[in-house]
A and B are shown apart, each in its own frame.
Chain A
């Protein structure tokens, strides 16, 4: 079984968020625990974009009842969610 590399997942997630929602603005300094919703980083379209990225990149489906802030609303939460799903 392949080992789940949490650090590289986090980096990939951060890079996706920065490139997609912050248009490459590295200066925005989004912290790992910052809420995407509270920081105004994503809206309803962004949630779908985020879900599509995770599903295609890590090859699993996100159920509707998993579309919650605890799983998706920060770099930290999203990384942990992906680790749980593929680990």
Chain B
């Protein structure tokens, strides 16, 4: 197939019309709900999702919920309010710090980090990162914890397994409490919760199961991040939101999604992923993107591995009848052989 840097260009008007039709049909026709609740963070994905819902349902049937906690960036609130004003939907603020403290989110996370850095405590910021670019060398994905003090000094270290698991489990309470909060506001109105994850997040597992992954519909989960930007331009999402670097809004120190999880900028990763999905030979993709064949092959492998490794996150709860059905079908196959 033909492959170039333009391969992910979409007809934004056409895609918008199609998505609006789907959103309306799913919310009203299938779920019999009358509106949409969207968690808005001032990021590109939630902005596009909320704007699409406002267009599909009418702004009076959309509510944006800002759910900052004490470690969130102050910029998120300003941008989310600007977005709501632009598209005419109501936005409310529901602070979750108290709830998280009640669930010992901060205490449990900090206790784990102190096992690596005993000096960590008040006055220190923290973040988690993957240490290398996925195209640069054959490496495993593992996570480092970084702490930064007020003087700007930082220290970084690979996390032992027990620390890593505890930090992630505690931090995931943030996304899970946000999901719970969204369902409160949605159920109160008999509205649906609309998820904001894009394809990069959904398929590579950059979401929390039953956290930000918990929603009634996910209208942009099939779109690459670079395509979400194209929709944002078309819909008229404020420039400050479009220009903002995507962050996790999960750790106290600022961390981009590239350094936390993806290990590559979206422009390259999305094109490489598209090429991989469409079986574009590594040599052809390398030439089109100005990369080496080895870099392309590493990226193909890394993306494929992340998709497979995170399948569990996208699974519905497994029921016994599904296992019985599978067993019966393999028995049938054997008999017919």
Contacts and interface: CB of A to CB of B under 8 A. Distances in A.
A69 interface: yes
A48 to B, nearest CB: 4
B204 to A, nearest CB: 11
Contact of A68 (B140, B165, B305, B308): B140
Contact of B305 (A37, A49, A52): A37
Size bin of chain B's contact surface: 20 to 34
A47 interface: yes
A17 to B, nearest CB: 15
Contact of B165 (A37, A45, A47, A70): A45
A56 to B, nearest CB: 9
Contacts of B161: 45, 48-49, 51-52
Given A52-B161, A64-B131, A67-B158, A47 B308 contact: no
Interface string A20-42: 00000000000000000100100
A55 to B, nearest CB: 8
A51 B142 contact: yes
A11 interface: no
A44 B159 contact: no
A72 interface: yes
B159 A48 contact: yes
B143 A44 contact: yes
Size bin of chain A's contact surface: 10 to 19
Contacts of A48: 142-143, 158-161, 164
A51 B142 CA distance: 10
B141 interface: yes
B287 interface: no
Interface in B155-170: 158-162, 164-165
22 contacts: A37-B140, A37-B301, A37-B305, A40-B309, A43-B305, A44-B140, A48-B143, A48-B158, A48-B160, A48-B164, A51-B158, A51-B160, A52-B162, A64-B131, A64-B144, A64-B158, A67-B139, A68-B138, A68-B140, A69-B139, A72-B140, A73-B140
Interface of A: 37, 40, 43-45, 47-49, 51-52, 64, 67-70, 72-73
Given A43-B309, A48-B159, 13 more contacts: A37-B301, A43-B141, A43-B305, A44-B142, A44-B143, A47-B140, A48-B143, A48-B160, A48-B164, A51-B158, A51-B161, A67-B139, A67-B140
Which 7 residue pairs are nearest across A and B when measured between Cβ atoms?
A43-B309, A44-B141, A48-B161, A47-B140, A52-B161, A49-B161, A47-B142
